[in-house]
């Protein structure tokens, strides 16, 4: 939501004009503004070789992957599918903005599916959704904070999660949908076993918390390691 903070004698009219001049988040392709410009190696020691596609990745994701036993190389948002397919697994990171204008990134995800295990987080979750034919939309206020309840459909377990996003995957009864928000029914998780791909809308590295989804990254790294063995 566009807004301004005005102090003391600030003019509401000037502030309102400034707010109206700001572009809408809808249609804003922002990943390229925050992605690394060049590939880099985060760490080399690990039993599973993981590529992270940086759409605005949090450092804690790379740290958690390394801690779980993966060697991690980070690539820009516009990396090609063939480069990523050389790794044991690919993580699609979080990032800002609207996923729909990221048509090139969605095409790469679609091309990658079935070739290498994929895990999407936040924006990465939304890109996987678009690549598999689901829809995304702008939330009225977004999901922000560390207290968001998410239902795991298969077990009926409720996870308290950390979230920070303004767009979401539209509610669906598709069998691929594994998690849903208990606030508004938006899709918080996807799984495509036949493609070795899955995703979550929330932040499982839980920096700083809560830790209900703490095991997701470590479990995925172990699955990637076993698949590559």
Longest Cα separation, the chain: 66
Distance CA 127, CA 110 (A): 9
- Distances, alpha carbon 112 to alpha carbons 9, 31, 36, 120, 138, in Å: 55, 19, 20, 12, 26
One of 122, 125, 165, 179 is an active-site residue; which one?
A: 122
Is 203 catalytic? The answer is: yes
Q: Which helix (H) or strand (E) holds 49?
A: strand 48-53
Active site residue 122: yes
Distance of CA 196 to the CA centre of its chain: 17
Residue in 100, 105, 188, 205 annotated catalytic:
205
Please indicate whether residue 205 is annotated as part of the active site.
yes
Pairing status of strand 157-169 against strand 89-92 = unpaired
Token duo for residue 118: 């994929």
What are the residue numbers of the active site?
A: 122, 203, 205
């Amino acid at each position: 939501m566009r807004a301004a903070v005005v102090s003391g004698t600030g003019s509401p009219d000037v502030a309102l004009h400034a707010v109206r001049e700001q572009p809408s988040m809808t249609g804003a392709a922002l990943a390229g503004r925050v992605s690394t410009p060049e590939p880099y190696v985060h760490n080399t020691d690990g039993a599973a070789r993981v590529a992270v596609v940086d759409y605005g990745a949090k450092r804690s994701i790379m740290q958690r992957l390394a801690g779980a036993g993966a060697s991690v190389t980070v690539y820009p948002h516009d990396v090609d599918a063939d480069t990523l397919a050389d790794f044991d697994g690919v993580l699609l990171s979080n990032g800002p903005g609207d996923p729909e204008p990221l048509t090139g990134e969605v095409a790469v995800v679609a091309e990658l599916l079935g070739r290498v295990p994929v895990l999407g987080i936040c924006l990465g979750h939304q890109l996987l959704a678009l690549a598999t034919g689901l829809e995304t939309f702008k939330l009225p206020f977004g999901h922000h904070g560390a207290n968001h309840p998410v239902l795991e459909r298969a077990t009926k377990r409720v996870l308290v999660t950390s979230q920070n996003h303004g767009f979401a995957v539209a509610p669906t009864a598709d069998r691929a949908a594994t998690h849903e928000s208990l606030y508004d029914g938006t899709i918080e998780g996807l799984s495509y076993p036949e493609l070795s791909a899955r995703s979550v809308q929330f932040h499982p590295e839980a920096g700083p918390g809560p830790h209900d989804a703490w095991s997701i990254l470590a479990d995925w790294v172990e699955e990637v390691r076993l698949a590559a063995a």
